[in-house]
Amino acid sequence: MCRRPHGSEDTRGSILVIALWVALGLVSIAVYFGHAMVLEYRGFANSAGGIQAQHAVEGARRYLTFILDELETPGEVPDVAEYESEDVAVDKARFWVVGREEDVLLLDSGEPAYGLVDEGSKLNLNTATLEMLEALPYMTAELAAGIVDWRDTDTEITSNGAESETYLVLDPPYNAKDSGFETPEELRLVYGADLELLYGEDTNRNGALDANEDDGDESYPPDDANGELRHGLLEYLTVFSREPNTQEDGSPRVSIRQDDGEMEASQGQFQETSAQGSQEEQQDSASVQTLEDLLAETFGETRAEEITASLDAETDNVESVLEFYLLSGMTREEFDEVEDAVTVSDDDFLRGLVNVNTATRDVLACLPGIGEDYADEIVAYRTDGEAEDLTSVAWVTEVLDDESAVQAGPYITTKSYVFSADIVALGEHGRGFRRDLMIFDSSGDATAVVYRRDLSRFGWPLGDTTYAELTESEDGGDFEL
């Protein structure tokens, strides 16, 4: 009978235990490296999604530049129905252009509107008067005066305002700028401004009432939970609005207040410097040297003499083309023919005019001659009117009395050349969130982005519905962009 060697069973058991530990170690290493590879893959996918999203932002920039360059009529506001602004595919990425709903506060939907935002629908921080600033919702007298002191070039303190002596005692100290605002966000430096005044309840700056902006003290920001979005001051303010002081074809306008000698000099300068248009077109433009010439060429000698007689010598003190219209006795149809050809300014650009066709009720209420008395009527009239009836500022005389129209005239227009685009982009599978604010200026020879800022830190702006759609698609494994 053969005996097994002493301890052989213990040896085999030990080998088994060691083999199991080795196997466990190998499995652990495999799991570790597998997990590391998963993390590496996810990191790469997120990085790739970010690159895709950034390319989508650039695609949106080029697309919107094309839209503005191809407008049939310079100065018109693009119809959001005529271009893509929501969930637009760029290869495997997508972009959205967060906009604003005209004259509507999105109370409880939590969903933003989409499209370009007209900067001409806002008050310009560099041109609005103290009284206009004070009329803004939630504006304080101290902040309005501080804005005036910040932008003016003197060191005199406006009543309730602040100059360098106020800023130098702050921590850290700094001087009052005493120069124009370069961006609306510069308001944060002005004494009396705080985040609640500037952003209101709309802390993600999407123009819609999100859930966290309507829950009282449950989450940031502080809000009154009343189902209505309280906008901050930045919603109403810009520094970019301007329009060229030329006709649609680029030729100079005829000054209502310019004498013959000045007009001839300006026409000669235009002919020497203009590189656009045919020689025949330039000769036709040069032939219109005075207001009388323009009226005669447009309406004929007899009608021109009637209009000139109505004007008498009052054009020397005319402050706006709308006042010129009221003095001239022209019909609205006649004025529509010449509005683009006349001006009361010698500047190359008209800055800070408010577009009465797009401005919100709150902005309109800040304008002289309109105010609280007429703001709602202006909005109602343009909402019910036909687009072709709103092409010139003459339509506001259907709402305003003559005295109010004269007061409003220097501050209003029906053209817009500068637009903001809040571009949000996602890469494949909803990765790589990007959000850029761009200001498009089409007042020059070609549309250009004159300002750009990363808004990603303000958070998700596309509302709960879009978020849920993306999440459900990704969970289901079939979310494809």
Residues 154 and 260 in one domain: no
Question: What is the reported pTM?
Answer: 0.85
How far is it, in rounded angstroms, from Cα 312 to Cα 316? Answer: 10
Residues 184 and 294 in one domain: no
Query: 135 is written with which tokens?
Result: 């009329």
Residues 149 and 34 in one domain: no
**Residue 397: inside a domain:** no
The mean predicted confidence, pLDDT, of the chain is 87
**Residue 365: inside a domain:** no
**Residue 212: inside a domain:** yes
How far is it, in rounded angstroms, from Cα 157 to Cα 210? Answer: 40
**pLDDT tens by residue, 284-317:** 444 456 899 999 999 999 999 999 888 876 677 8
**Residue 244: inside a domain:** no
What was the pLDDT predicted at 9?
Answer: 63
What was the pLDDT predicted at 109?
Answer: 60
**pLDDT tens by residue, 349-390:** 999 999 999 999 999 999 999 999 999 999 999 999 888 889
Q: CATH number of the domain at 149, please.
A: 1.10.40
Question: How many residues does this entry show for the chain?
Answer: 481
Task: Answer for the pair 347, 404: CB distance below 8 angstroms, yes or no.
Answer: no
How far is it, in rounded angstroms, from Cα 57 to Cα 139? Answer: 34
Short-list 337, 305, 335, CA closest to 322: 335
Residues 97 and 49 in one domain: yes
Per-residue pLDDT band at 278 (split at 50, 70, 90): very low
Residues 73 and 48 in one domain: yes
Residues 260 and 341 in one domain: yes
**Which of 3-12, 430-439, 450-459 has the weakest average pLDDT?**
3-12
- The single-letter DSSP state of residue 179 is S
Of 346, 368, 385, the last residue of a domain is: 346
Of 346, 371, 388, the last residue of a domain is: 346
How far is it, in rounded angstroms, from Cα 229 to Cα 146? Answer: 26
What was the pLDDT predicted at 111?
Answer: 86
Of 290, 323, 346, the last residue of a domain is: 346
**Residue 341: inside a domain:** yes
Single-letter code of the amino acid located at 221: P
Residues 168 and 212 in one domain: yes
Residues 202 and 270 in one domain: no
Residues 185 and 312 in one domain: no
Task: Answer for the pair 343, 321: CB distance below 8 angstroms, yes or no.
Answer: yes
**Residue 368: inside a domain:** no
Residues 353 and 474 in one domain: yes
**Residue 330: inside a domain:** yes
What is the domain extent for residue 427? 16-117+349-358+416-481
Residues 255 and 312 in one domain: yes
Q: What single string gives the DSSP state of each residue in 236-273?
A: GEES--EEESB-TTSPBPEETT--HHHHHHHHHHHHHH
Which stretch, 103-117, 262-276, 419-433, has highest mean pLDDT? 419-433
Residues 102 and 171 in one domain: no
Domain count, the chain: 3
Contacts of 258 (CB under 8 A, 6+ apart): 266, 346
The percent of residues above 70 in pLDDT, for the chain, comes to 86
Which letter, b or e, does each residue of 270-292 get, where b requires 16 or more Cβ atoms within 10 Å of its Cβ? beeeeeeeeeeebeebeebbbbb
